[in-house]
Amino acid sequence: MLESKYINCPVHKGMAIFEGKWNSLIIYELIFQSPMRFGELRKALPSISNTMLSSTLKSLEKLGLVERIQFNEVPPHVEYSLTESGRGLIPIFESLGQWSEKNIK
């Protein structure tokens, strides 16, 4: 259990976004191609199950990072994109990628 003095740590709160196995990968895909349909995300992440993709998207939507837009056309479809808050992660992903390339062999 996390010590109570760390409960409000902003770094810890921010890192919680990356706790799920798929969170960062879905965000990464949406950084480079947005909006994306469910099937496009599924193809981009072939190891993820439909259930896990759906659940992770719902979680990211609940965090306010991903937006789900439903089109009531024929045929109906749904598109996912990053919210403004989600797009705020782009410089963090870039910095983390640069740090990783430099420091992790």
- Digit-coded pLDDT (tens) for 32-61: 998 999 999 999 999 999 999 999 999 999
Domain that holds residue 28: 4-103
Tell me the percentage of the chain whose pLDDT exceeds 90: 73
Other CB atoms within 10 Å distance of the CB of residue 36 = 19
pLDDT of residue 99: 94
pLDDT of residue 73: 87
Rounded average pLDDT over 86-90: 95
pLDDT class of 63 with cuts at 50, 70, 90:
very high
pLDDT of residue 3: 63
Q: What residues pair up with 69 in beta bridges, in sequence order?
A: 79
Q: Give the CATH number for residue 85.
A: 1.10.10.10
**How many structural domains compose the chain?**
1
User: Residue 78: helix, strand or coil by DSSP?
Assistant: strand
**Cα separation, 37 vs 93, whole angstroms:** 22
Rounded average pLDDT over 63-87: 94
Question: pTM for this one?
Answer: 0.86
In the chain, % helix, strand, coil (3-state, to 5) comes to: 55, 15, 30
pLDDT class of 92 with cuts at 50, 70, 90:
very high
